[in-house]
Chains A and B, each alone.
Chain A
Amino acid sequence: MPAFGSFALVVALALSAWNLLAGGVALRQLATGSRGAFAPERLAETARRAGMASFFAITCAAFALVWAAFTNDFRLIYIAEHSNRALPWAYKFAALWSGQEGSLLLWAWLLAGYGLVLRMRHKVDVKLTAYASTILAGIQVFFLLLVNVAATPFSLVPGGVIPADGNGLNPLLQYPEMVIHPPMLYLGYVGFSVPFAFALGALMMRYPGEKWIHITRRWTMVTWLFLTVGIFLGMHWAYNVLGWGGYWGWDPVENASLMPWLTGTAFLHSVMMQEKRGMMKSWNVWLIFSTFMLSILGTLLTRSGLVSSVHAFAQSSIGTWFWVFLVIVFAVCLFTYILNRDHLKTEHKLESLVSRESSFAFNNLVLLLACFTILWGTLFPILSEFVQGNKVTVSAPFYNRVAVPVGVFLLFLTGIGPLLAWRSTSMRSVRKNFIVPGIVALVIAIAVIPLGVHPWTIFTTDHEGAFYAWVTFALAAFVATAIFAEFFRGARVIQRHSGQNLLRSVVQLTRRNTRRYGGYIVHFGVVLIFIGISGQAFNRSVEATMNYKQSMNIGPYRIECMDYSQDTNANYDSTYAILNVFRGGHRVTQLDPAIRFYQASQQPETMVANHSTPLWDLYVVYAGTDTTTGQPIIKAFLNPLVMWIWIGLIVTIFGTGVALLPNLSAALAAQRSRVAVTAEHEPVAAGRTGD
């Protein structure tokens, strides 16, 4: 199997190289009108097929690696380092992406998978797809070169001395979400290659119009969704595994996933201005170029060990390869842009500052400001080491100082954007649409004060959290009201015309314009996420060494230690405490925080116990064992509103799913056209039968 896997990677590289070379030659011949031994269309077809065949070759290689993990084939260095006999099967499968070589193979495989779909759907625009396919092949060649030369997953142990067992998977990765979090994140990173390839191809061929955006819209949304889910699964994993009571620590690898998400989100918004009004063409092209380059940077940071991170599960010297690739990508983008920048002339100018366009422009500027801040903070240790010789790490307060106000402003824009008209909005219209959300925001701003949200603490203490939480609650009310008003207004029009009840009218309204109303649902999900995050301002924690029947209090809860003990199995030893949780004298739940010690890797891992409610999470960690008494040291956190972050994610997924559906009118038109085609063909068919 290792030989077959290794050989399959060579075949995949050859196929991708043919895709790139033959595709490039064919496109050149078609552009210049010259001809070679093959007709250019025929040559382009072989290139397309080579691209599709490379998917099957890489699938064979990925299968070979997974097979090696399942059969404990420790002849392979990769399997010996990332798996062991006692590892559960799901984590053996996850070994495919737990190390650098495997994760690069996953990158190549996912890219080939996206490429397969793109090349199969080439009839949507044969020429544009040929450009995109050739550009994707260029990216594919880079990743296949990596796994064939610099980071091969099928290297055999030196000297043929096969270890009896492997080192096992990093304990931090032995968590159910880790089986889906990295593939989701990678589907997001890799997926941005497709809109990038279409944008670069469209610019290279000076594609007239904005149809390339229409073609890539679903690709971009699906990719954005994967990246979003990947980021949130990572947050959920960090919250439940790292045991420090939080879900986001501005770790370089977390930042690496957030940066392309920010530019991708900016692109999803600003691209609407290009579709609707032919504006911001250069901006959009550079947004998607940047998003792709940031995805590559993200992979570099995660995989090269360039920065210190709890999430960087690989250390290596492949950084140089990535830097060279990034420079080449940037040079190609810049050269293509300079050559064709006259093709990207804007068709309209910004007419008013109070307009939908300006809200999108502000949204983009703010998202880019956040992205630049995070990029600066993430790369600062590398830059400082280069300049001063020592790494200066940037900590959370640096990011929070920018990200928190930026986030609050983005929430504000989320609310006002849909209320503004395209081109310009009169003051009368502003008053009309803003009055109800404004009143609701004011009511909420006053109502939360007696609940303990005191914004004035910003003047009396260094603690800004309560002030920003207060602003967030008020803005969340504003945005939610604006969204509901949009649904209500639209549904009333449908109701007037159809006589349906309001709920059915809302459903029909959404189906008539899935992109817009799906987008509003996503915005509502974002509101919930902001509410959840703002709860962080009111986190509390206590820590105590607990003997049998001893208890400690946090918020409305009393935690009582019932037992503490140890357990062992083939994979790990665990030390745990059994805690009963009481509220108002009634037992609410039992929590069992633990520390596991993995035998293969000789590393510990915290197992958090969490009692989650819509109001707060009671989050309990087995922080250690008192060396003198042997009693457990328990740390308990009371984290308000965290559940709303995960609920917000589910709403966001649902909203994106809605936005991906075809509009009702388009679906009906397609149905009508199918009926018409059938009717048109029936007499002919009948005639033939009659013959």
Chain B
Amino acid sequence: MTSAALLACATLVMGSLLYVFWPDRNVEAQNAKTRLEYLRERQEALYDNLRDLNFEYNSGKYPEEDYAAQRATLENEAAEVLAEIDLLEAGILGNHSAAAQHS
């Protein structure tokens, strides 16, 4: 092995070790996803579905009765999701205010 190749190998090893093990103070926390975050995603997906349905109805793709039935189903699903979001948010707020009173 030539000295240039040796130098290249040493640089590669040192560079890799320094990069991998150099202390970093801003390590990202691996938080688990909460139920609330999941519900907000679900809410967004349902709103997307409703927007699509409205647009397709306005474009004349579906008859009135199909549209009404589908809209009602989606709105019911969205209502259930929103109710659970409200419940969880109220619980979180309750916990925060209880913690504030204790302090």
A-side residues, CB < 8 A to B, are 1, 3-4, 7-8, 11, 15, 18, 30, 39-42, 44-46, 49-50, 52-53, 56-57, 60, 122-123, 125-127, 130, 207-211, 275-276, 419, 421-423, 425-426, 428-429, 432-433, 489-490, 492-493, 513
Residues of B within 8 A of A8 (CB): 9, 12
Q: Which of B13, B28, B52 contacts A123 (CB 8 A)?
A: B28
A–B complex contacts, Cβ < 8 Å, 21 sampled = A3-B1, A3-B9, A7-B12, A8-B12, A30-B30, A40-B30, A42-B24, A42-B27, A45-B27, A49-B20, A53-B15, A53-B19, A126-B29, A207-B33, A208-B35, A422-B53, A423-B70, A429-B62, A432-B63, A489-B59, A513-B52
B41 in the interface, Cβ–Cβ < 8 Å? yes
B101 in the interface, Cβ–Cβ < 8 Å? no
Residues of B within 8 A of A45 (CB): 24, 27-28
Residues of B within 8 A of A7 (CB): 5, 9, 12
Instruction: Output the nearest chain A residue to B8 by Cβ-Cβ distance.
Output: A4
Cα distance A30–B19 when bound, in Å? 23
Q: Which of A44, A57, A125, A209 contacts B42 (CB 8 A)?
A: A209
Task: State whether A422 and B70 are in contact (beta carbons under 8 Å apart), knowing that A15-B16, A41-B28 are contacts in the complex.
Answer: yes
Residues of B within 8 A of A276 (CB): 45, 49
B-side residues, CB < 8 A to A, are 1-2, 5, 8-9, 12-13, 15-16, 19-21, 24, 27-33, 35, 37-38, 41-42, 45, 49, 52-53, 55-56, 58-63, 65-66, 70, 73
Tell me whether B63 and A41 are in contact (CB under 8 A): no
Cα distance A490–B8 when bound, in Å? 60
Chain B at the A interface: SS class:
helix
Residues of A within 8 A of B58 (CB): 493
Most chain A CB within a 10 A radius of its CB, from B5, B59, B60, B65: B59
Cα distance A11–B52 when bound, in Å? 51
Residues of B within 8 A of A53 (CB): 15-16, 19-20
Residues of A within 8 A of B35 (CB): 208
Cα distance A644–B52 when bound, in Å? 33
Residues of B within 8 A of A3 (CB): 1-2, 5, 9
Additional A-B contacts beyond A208-B35, A210-B41, A490-B59 (15; CB < 8 A): A8-B12, A11-B16, A44-B27, A45-B27, A53-B15, A53-B19, A125-B33, A127-B31, A209-B37, A419-B61, A421-B61, A421-B70, A423-B70, A428-B63, A492-B59
Instruction: Output the nearest chain B residue to A54 by Cβ-Cβ distance.
Output: B16
Residues of B within 8 A of A419 (CB): 61
Cα distance A46–B27 when bound, in Å? 10
Please give the distance in Å from B81's CB to the nearest CB on chain A. Answer: 11
> 8 nearest interchain CB pairs?
A489-B59, A127-B30, A208-B38, A209-B38, A126-B28, A3-B1, A7-B9, A49-B20
Please give the distance in Å from B92's CB to the nearest CB on chain A. Answer: 17
Residues of B within 8 A of A123 (CB): 28
Residues of A within 8 A of B45 (CB): 210, 275-276
Q: Which of B16, B29, B55 contacts A493 (CB 8 A)?
A: B55
Task: State whether A126 and B38 are in contact (beta carbons under 8 Å apart), knowing that A4-B5, A421-B66, A429-B62 are contacts in the complex.
Answer: no
The number of residue pairs between A and B whose CB atoms lie closer than 8 Å in the complex comes to 114
Cα distance A275–B24 when bound, in Å? 37
Cα distance A429–B21 when bound, in Å? 63
Tell me whether B73 and A423 are in contact (CB under 8 A): yes
Tell me whether A122 and B28 are in contact (CB under 8 A): yes
Most chain A CB within a 10 A radius of its CB, from B1, B16, B24, B56: B16
Residues of B within 8 A of A433 (CB): 61
Please give the distance in Å from A632's CB to the nearest CB on chain B. Answer: 53
Cα distance A422–B66 when bound, in Å? 10
Cα distance A432–B53 when bound, in Å? 17
Instruction: Output the nearest chain B residue to A490 by Cβ-Cβ distance.
Output: B59
Q: Which of B12, B20, B37 contacts A50 (CB 8 A)?
A: B20
Residues of A within 8 A of B55 (CB): 490, 493
Cα distance A49–B18 when bound, in Å? 10
Residues of A within 8 A of B5 (CB): 1, 3-4, 7
Task: State whether A60 and B24 are in contact (beta carbons under 8 Å apart), knowing that A208-B33, A208-B38, A421-B70 are contacts in the complex.
Answer: no
Cα distance A425–B20 when bound, in Å? 56
Please give the distance in Å from A670's CB to the nearest CB on chain B. Answer: 15
Residues of B within 8 A of A125 (CB): 33
Tell me whether A15 and B20 are in contact (CB under 8 A): yes
Residues of B within 8 A of A130 (CB): 30
Please give the distance in Å from A113's CB to the nearest CB on chain B. Answer: 17
Cα distance A57–B15 when bound, in Å? 10
Please give the distance in Å from A467's CB to the nearest CB on chain B. Answer: 33
Most chain B CB within a 10 A radius of its CB, from A41, A208, A419: A208
Most chain A CB within a 10 A radius of its CB, from B24, B41, B55, B61: B61
Cα distance A45–B30 when bound, in Å? 10
Please give the distance in Å from A135's CB to the nearest CB on chain B. Answer: 15
Residues of B within 8 A of A209 (CB): 33, 37-38, 41-42
Tell me whether B12 and A425 are in contact (CB under 8 A): no
Instruction: Output the nearest chain B residue to A122 by Cβ-Cβ distance.
Output: B28
Cα distance A50–B20 when bound, in Å? 5
Task: State whether A11 and B30 are in contact (beta carbons under 8 Å apart), knowing that A53-B19, A209-B42 are contacts in the complex.
Answer: no
